[in-house]
């Protein structure tokens, strides 16, 4: 089992992969995938029971990515875990690649479900949890959602049903990075008090620092011990985390770095005060 | 003449003896049968379990039934999540709401994932009558058949609807099945063959024209065919050799049968309770343009919304009765080369 320090290193590693993938793709989203690095590291390398060699294993924990535009971090984590060879990283968004711009089950079954139009993954995860309960399965159903996606009505339809059905096998993690395409969430469509909203829908709500891997793991453990409700873990994150010029700037929601920007980003991520050279130098 | 091989109800032209039952009843019964056969069949509704006829399944298999409330987008998405995990979900609502309100969820969560979700669209066409245009689904065939991976079925009567429900449960991908609200003529019997994707000939009195249709409107098609086949020369009208094709599966469409009929008759009239654009007429016209171009007339709703009224009054006002089919046959015969 990886130590927390090793997991922290791994999450930084995934950030480097994300930068690399986006530069080669020439399009895509930067801020969300970078700020989700700790969450996906925790899920794939500590929390979830899964088998990269047998992605269809019936008893695997399920992970649905509702905010499909954040696919690069999921791809990076899955490739790091061994679902595909590293060489696939550079095929993101390219013709014929399993790494489609948004997750495509048609092209890569291991991503569980195609997603992109926001809000849809929430319902799919609720359906997966209902199905597991009907079959008396013991696996967990995780769903990563964004904060901007809470604007979608479907999100709340799904939340109502999960509350009604008391789906305790269902654990959501929200990337609360406060940005969406057009600006800051509280300017575009205020979400606060978001925790109270989910509590009012009969969910158990936990708030954590989304860059603290130990806190994420603890929160999931707490969620597993709640037997009467689904859980929403609100992960407070910094958009673009790890790359100084991207952090907290909503303009990085939907664009990739150029090669020059990637050089700076990778030097920052590789630390040693930016002394480690990159393939873009 | 009625095609005897199809084992149709022999009382078709005897309104007093003919049975009249809503197609949705057949679907509800078929759903229970499918549930008995396969424990993975589950059912979900959006607060319409009675009128979609999902109630019988609910009573029989309460642990396999979920009411999601009035939330059609979630209905479709939850079904997708269950289908991803081994279930065969049937979802029921009015066609205006599902697939009307949840088309994006149908497109991405269900069809792109290619999942065995079965969508039952009730109260389609003008059949919801007095409720008015908001509830009359006249676009559902168009918006479903345009999606990859889906199968679209429009059963003509109670028996066919029951068979369609059972067949849908066996199919690996998404299926949309369309229903009418009121009692409609039971044209077929338990012994009438039904195979998804295989159109069947209901009437055959010759090769002058083929009336191609789907759904309860086939009753009007048969009435028209009978009249056309029996017209006396004394009235100045020629007797016509007419075929009536039950095109219950709109997608995948039975190209082979349409080609054969096109070659034989050289003229089609398409009959449907749907907008003229994108429905059965659209599907047949697209197909024939590619494989056997012939004149085709349609008996459809003419690019307009419906209104409140009794079903029969609406069929008359919007020109979907046997007399309208006869007129359309007249038009297409003039265009025939």
pLDDT, tens only, A87-124: 999 999 999 999 999 999 999 999 999 999 999 999 99
When pLDDT is averaged across residues A207-234 and rounded to a whole number, the result is: 98
Q: Taking CB atoms and an 8 Å limit, are B78 and A124 in contact across chains?
A: yes
Classify each residue of B282-295 as buried b or exposed e, where b means 16 or more C-beta atoms within 10 Å of its C-beta: bbbbebbeeebebb
pLDDT of residue B292: 98
The residue written with tokens 């109260």 in the block is B123
Q: How far is A129 from chain B, CA to nearest CA, in Å?
A: 8
Locate A180 and state its tokens. Answer: 């969406």
Asked if residue A182 is part of any domain, the answer here is yes
When pLDDT is averaged across residues A193-208 and rounded to a whole number, the result is: 98
Answer positive or negative: Cα dihedral of A103, A107, A111, A112: positive
Asked if residue A279 is part of any domain, the answer here is no
Asked if residue A189 is part of any domain, the answer here is yes
Q: Which of A71, A107, A115, A127 to mutate to test binding with chain B, by most B CBs within 10 Å of its CB?
A: A127
Asked if residue A280 is part of any domain, the answer here is no
pLDDT of residue A278: 75
B72 a catalytic residue: yes
Which chain B positions have a beta carbon within 8 Å of A161's beta carbon? Answer: 66, 68-69, 71, 74, 78
Q: What is the pTM of this model?
A: 0.96
Q: What range defines the domain where residue A223 resides?
A: 4-274
Question: Could you say which of A112, A135, A161 has the minimum Cβ distance to residue B74?
Answer: A161
pLDDT at A235 over 60: yes
pLDDT along chain B (337 residues), means of 10: 95 94 96 98 96 96 98 98 98 97 98 98 94 96 98 98 98 97 95 98 98 98 96 71 98 98 98 98 98 98 97 97 97 93
Q: Which of A102, A104, A106, A120 to mutate to test binding with chain B, by most B CBs within 10 Å of its CB?
A: A120
Asked if residue A119 is part of any domain, the answer here is yes
Distance (Å, rounded) from C-alpha B294 to C-alpha B208? 12
Give helix B280-291 / helix B255-265 axis angle, nearest 10°.
Answer: 70
Residue B311 burial by CB count (10 A; 0-12/13-18/19+): exposed, middle or buried?
Answer: buried
pLDDT of residue B232: 66
Q: Taking CB atoms and an 8 Å limit, are A112 and B105 in contact across chains?
A: no
**Cβ atoms of residues B193 and B8 within 8 Å:** no
- Split into its structural domains, chain A has a count of 1
**Cβ atoms of residues B50 and A134 within 8 Å:** no
Asked if residue A263 is part of any domain, the answer here is yes
Q: Taking CB atoms and an 8 Å limit, are B77 and A132 in contact across chains?
A: no
In chain B, which residue's Cα lies nearest the Cα of A108?
Answer: B113
**Cβ atoms of residues A75 and A122 within 8 Å:** no
Which chain B positions have a beta carbon within 8 Å of A160's beta carbon? Answer: 69, 71, 74
Asked if residue A281 is part of any domain, the answer here is no
Distance (Å, rounded) from C-alpha B337 to C-alpha A261? 69
In chain B, which residue's Cα lies nearest the Cα of A66?
Answer: B109
CB neighbours of B266 closer than 8 A, spacing ≥ 6? Answer: B294, B295, B336, B337
Q: Taking CB atoms and an 8 Å limit, are A126 and B80 in contact across chains?
A: no
When pLDDT is averaged across residues A74-90 and rounded to a whole number, the result is: 98
Hey, is the C-beta of B155 within 8 angstroms of any chain A C-beta?
Answer: no
Q: Which of B85, B98, B106 to mutate to test binding with chain A, by most A CBs within 10 Å of its CB?
A: B85
Distance (Å, rounded) from C-alpha A169 to C-alpha B36? 28
Q: Which of B62, B74, B75, B148 to mutate to test binding with chain A, by most A CBs within 10 Å of its CB?
A: B74
Cα Rg of chain A, angstroms: 18
Which chain A positions have a beta carbon within 8 Å of B38's beta carbon? Answer: none
Which domains, and CATH codes, for chain B?
4-10+193-335 (3.40.50.920), 20-185 (3.40.50.970)
Distance (Å, rounded) from C-alpha B246 to C-alpha B218? 7
Question: Could you say which of A120, A132, A157 has the minimum Cβ distance to residue B109?
Answer: A120
Q: Domain containing A210 — which CATH number?
A: 3.40.50.970
**Cβ atoms of residues A110 and A72 within 8 Å:** no
Distance (Å, rounded) from C-alpha B167 to C-alpha B178? 14
Q: What is the pLDDT of residues A236-246, one digit of tens each?
A: 999 999 999 99
Q: Taking CB atoms and an 8 Å limit, are A158 and B74 in contact across chains?
A: yes
Which chain A positions have a beta carbon within 8 Å of B83's beta carbon? Answer: 127
Hey, is the C-beta of B68 within 8 angstroms of any chain A C-beta?
Answer: yes
Q: How far is A120 from chain B, CA to nearest CA, in Å?
A: 6
Residue from B29, B49, B72, B160 carrying the catalytic annotation: B72
Q: How far is B107 from chain A, CA to nearest CA, in Å?
A: 10
ipTM: 0.96
Residue in A254, A244, A230 with CA at minimum distance from that of residue A274: A244
Share of chain A above pLDDT 90, in %: 95
**Cβ atoms of residues B93 and B105 within 8 Å:** no
Beta carbon pairs, A and B, within 8 Å: 110
Counting DSSP H helices and E strands in chain B, the numbers are 11, 14
Asked if residue A108 is part of any domain, the answer here is yes
pLDDT at A277 over 90: no
The residue written with tokens 């056997």 in the block is B292
In chain B, which residue's Cα lies nearest the Cα of A125?
Answer: B81
Q: Taking CB atoms and an 8 Å limit, are A127 and B84 in contact across chains?
A: yes
């Amino acid at each position: 089992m990886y130590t927390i320090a090793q997991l922290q290193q791994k999450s930084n590693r995934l950030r480097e992969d994300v930068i690399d993938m986006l530069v080669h793709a020439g399009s895509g989203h930067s801020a969300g995938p970078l700020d989700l690095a700790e969450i996906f590291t925790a899920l794939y390398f500590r929390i979830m029971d899964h088998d990269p060699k047998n992605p269809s294993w019936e008893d695997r924990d399920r992970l649905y990515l509702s905010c499909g535009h954040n696919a690069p971090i999921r791809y990076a984590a899955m490739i790091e875990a061994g679902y595909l060879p590293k060489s696939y990283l550079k095929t993101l968004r390219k013709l014929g690649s399993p790494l489609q711009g948004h997750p495509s089950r048609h092209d890569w079954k291991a991503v569980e479900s195609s997603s992109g139009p926001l809000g849809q993954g929430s319902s799919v995860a609720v359906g997966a949890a209902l199905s597991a309960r009907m079959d008396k399965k013991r696996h967990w159903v995780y769903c990563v959602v964004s904060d901007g996606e809470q604007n979608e009505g479907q999100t709340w339809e799904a939340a109502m049903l999960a509350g009604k059905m008391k789906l305790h096998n269902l654990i959501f993690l929200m990337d609360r990075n406060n940005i969406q395409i057009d600006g800051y969430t509280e300017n575009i469509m205020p979400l606060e008090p978001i925790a109270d909203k989910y509590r009012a829908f009969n969910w158990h709500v936990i708030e954590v620092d989304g860059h603290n891997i130990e806190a994420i793991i603890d929160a999931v453990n707490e969620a597993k011990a709640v037997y009467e409700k689904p859980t929403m873990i609100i992960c407070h994150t910094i958009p673009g985390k790890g790359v100084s010029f991207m952090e907290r700037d909503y303009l990085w929601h939907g664009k990739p770095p150029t090669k020059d920007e990637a050089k700076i980003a990778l030097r920052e991520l590789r630390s040693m005060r930016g002394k480690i050279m990159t393939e873009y130098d | 003449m009625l095609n005897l091989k199809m084992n149709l109800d022999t009382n078709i032209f005897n309104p007093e003896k003919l049975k009249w039952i809503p197609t949705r009843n057949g679907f509800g019964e078929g759903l229970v049968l499918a549930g008995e056969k396969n424990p993975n069949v589950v059912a979900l509704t959006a607060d319409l379990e009675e009128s979609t006829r999902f109630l019988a399944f609910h009573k029989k298999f309460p642990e396999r039934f979920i009411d999601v409330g009035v939330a059609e987008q979630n209905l479709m998405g939850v079904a997708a999540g269950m289908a991803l995990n081994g279930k065969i979900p049937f979802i029921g609502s009015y066609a205006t709401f599902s697939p009307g309100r949840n088309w994006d969820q149908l497109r991405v969560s269900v069809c792109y994932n290619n999942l065995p979700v079965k969508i039952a669209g009730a109260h389609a066409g003008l059949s919801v009558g007095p409720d008015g245009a908001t509830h009359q689904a006249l676009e559902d065939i168009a918006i479903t058949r345009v999606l990859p991976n889906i199968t679209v079925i429009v059963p003509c009567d109670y028996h066919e609807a029951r068979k369609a429900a059972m067949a849908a449960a066996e199919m690996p991908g998404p299926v949309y099945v369309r229903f009418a609200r009121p009692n409609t003529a039971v044209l077929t019997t338990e012994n009438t063959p039904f195979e998804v994707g295989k159109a069947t000939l209901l009437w055959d009195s010759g090769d002058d024209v083929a009336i191609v249709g789907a759904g309860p409107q086939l009753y009007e098609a048969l009435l028209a065919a009978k009249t056309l086949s029996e017209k006396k020369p004394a009235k100045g009208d020629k007797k016509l050799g007419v075929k009536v094709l039950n095109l219950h599966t709109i997608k995948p469409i039975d190209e082979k049968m349409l080609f054969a009929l096109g070659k034989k008759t050289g003229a089609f009239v398409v009959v449907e309770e749907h907008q003229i654009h994108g429905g059965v007429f659209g599907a047949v016209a697209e197909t024939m343009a590619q494989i056997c171009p012939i004149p085709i007339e349609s008996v459809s709703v003419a690019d307009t919304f419906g209104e409140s009224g009794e079903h029969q009054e609406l069929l008359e006002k919007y020109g979907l009765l046997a007399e309208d089919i006869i007129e359309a046959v007249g038009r297409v015969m003039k265009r025939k080369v």
